[in-house]
Amino acid sequence: MTLLLWASAFAGIKVGLEGYGPGELALLRFVVASAVLGINAISTRMRPPARADVGRLALAGALGITTYHVALNFGEMTVSAGGASLIIAAGPVFTALFARVLLKERLSAWGWAGITVSFAGVALITLGEGAGGLHFEPGALLVMVSAVATALYFIAAKPLLGRYGPLEFTTYIIWAGTVPMLVWVPSLLGQMVHATPEQTLSVVYLGIFPGAVAYLTWSYALARMRAAQLSSFLYLSPVLAILIAFVWIGEVPTVLSLVGGAIAVAGVALVNTRGRPAE
């Protein structure tokens, strides 16, 4: 469910950026997500976070919400879609490395091989979808920041999910990650006046589904799986995005993209069947 919703976000972001700037889009998206989760928090009388965990929750929100989405939105203003997807695809590799150092999670040689295979598959998708090959621009550094930020977010989230339920954790980190975006409130109000209903509704969709719902389902899964193992599923996101784009807006994938998708799926299967070392 998480991957389907996150893959569908590409079309929503494309429509939203026609009426909103990258920072304003991120703010509106997560104001909506914060409001949805806030209604639930009030109705269920959700417990407040422990004082000792406030800093850790704020860090997770700053990494997984603020840094990831703002840097990615700004980066994609100058980086080709193919180049951005390849850089973001490095996220599971960073997650595996950080999980090895910070969480003491281990992958077998087969697990690392699976990560390598999946990354190669995503590279083929990128080459297949790009026009005239990859062209990296200075904004690529911002997209790389997003990839590293999301990997660090998974690592920061893992121990907190041992103390908070997925719904509590998701609520706290989305609230925390939205606060720094409030600097775009004045410009957002001006842009909302001129945006079309379709553009605004696309951002509302991003906030409710790829935002609140998808982060909740990802937190649920992360609480029950190793961070490195779970993040390997992200290699499926470009595959799903191609399928959704084909059904939704009629984009036809190239043969190279389809081959890359098959290789990415094979790599994920390898990580999740033979990736865990023998105890």
Nearest to 26 by CA among 139, 187, 222, 236: 187
Residue 183 lies in a domain: yes
pLDDT band at residue 225 under the 50/70/90 scheme: confident
Residue 114 lies in a domain: yes
Residue 28 lies in a domain: yes
- Residue 253 CB neighbours (<10 A): 18
End-to-end CA distance of the chain: 31
Tokens of 216: 């909740």
Give how many domains the chain has, as a whole number. Answer: 1
Q: Residue 97 is part of which domain span? A: 2-274
Mean pLDDT of the region 234-240: 75
The residue to which tokens 């304003």 are assigned: 24
Per-residue pLDDT at 56 exceeds 90:
yes
Residue 56 lies in a domain: yes
177-211 pLDDT per residue, tens: 999 999 999 999 999 999 999 999 999 999 999 99
Tokens of 266: 């094979």
Residue 93 lies in a domain: yes
- Residue 163 CB neighbours (<10 A): 13
Residue 279 lies in a domain: no
For residues 270 and 158, the model is more confident at: 158
Residue 184 lies in a domain: yes
